[in-house]
Amino acid sequence: MVIVDNDEIIEVVDTGLGGNRNYFSYDIISMTQGDFIAAYCSAHTGNGYLELVSISEYNGVKYRIPDAVDGNYEEMRLTAIEYGLVPEYDSEWFNKEDVKASAVYLGGKLQADYVDYDQDGNTDIVLTGIQRIYEERNKNERVLRQEFHIRSVFLYDSNIDDFVFGEEFSEKTPVKVSSAE
């Protein structure tokens, strides 16, 4: 909830409605597209977005950047398969303990930087941080198996007035995981 007086934001209140309480944090930012409340919001599952709400137009979220929040230990077999912790097809998997995994961001979210990444005169958004892959074992034991440096670049496209994922500029780089963790 945004409290405004004489067109100035006095306070932003986390209402905790709709699950947005998890990882909620906000900043007031200025970009070439205008002034915004940049809020990290997540559902009750711990996954969510970076949402930009215009300060001058009070009609909801103007821009939504996906995959900015992930603090949910989902414990899924599909995640274990995706990161190579278990083969996709294993004829004996039903006789073994099922291997599951979770992919989460260190601190629950990626850090946003607002820069003109492609030098076109418009502000772009660069999300950076660490993603960790945990194998889930019996008795809720989590073992860190993989770690990645993440850089997700979202370029502003003035033709559609939105941010577009720049795959060619984005990276997911593996980091060596110490066996002591």
Across the beta sheet with 34-42, what order do the strands follow? 25-31, 34-42, 47-54, 61-70
Domain count within the chain: 1
Range of the domain at 168: 2-175
Alpha carbons 85 and 179: distance in angstroms, whole number:
16
User: Per the domain annotation, does 79 fall within a domain?
Assistant: yes
Question: Is residue 175 scored above 60 in pLDDT?
Answer: yes
pLDDT of residue 17 exceeding 80: no
- Asked if the structure places residue 143 within a domain, the reply is yes
Is a pLDDT exceeding 70 seen at residue 177? yes
Please give the pLDDT value at position 19: 46
Q: What angle do CA 71, 163, 155 make, to 5 degrees?
A: 100
What's the confidence (pLDDT) of residue 180?
A: 47
Q: For 158-174, how does the pLDDT look when each residue is reduced to its tens digit (9 = 90+)?
A: 999 999 999 999 999 99
- Provide the pairing of β-strand 111-115 with 25-31: unpaired
State the sign of the Cα–Cα–Cα–Cα dihedral 90, 145, 50, 34. Answer: negative
pLDDT at residue 149, as a whole number: 97
In a domain, 49, yes or no: yes
In a domain, 7, yes or no: yes
pLDDT of residue 181 exceeding 60, the answer is no
Task: State percent of the chain over pLDDT 90.
Answer: 48
pTM of the model: 0.81
Could you report the per-residue pLDDT of 75-121, keeping only the tens digit for each? Answer: 888 888 888 887 776 555 554 567 889 999 999 999 999 999 999 99
Q: Is the pLDDT of residue 54 over 50?
A: yes
Helix, strand, coil abundance in the chain, percent, nearest 5: 10, 55, 35
> Which tokens belong to 165?
């994922």
Whole-angstrom distance, CA of residue 97 vs CA of residue 100: 9
Residues of the chain above pLDDT 70, percent = 76
Instruction: Look at residue 180 and tell me if it is in a domain.
Output: no
Q: Is residue 6 part of a domain?
A: yes
In a domain, 36, yes or no: yes
Average pLDDT, the chain: 83
In the predicted structure, residue 123 carries a pLDDT above the cut 50: yes
> Residue 181: inside a domain, yes or no?
no
CA distance 6 to 167: 41
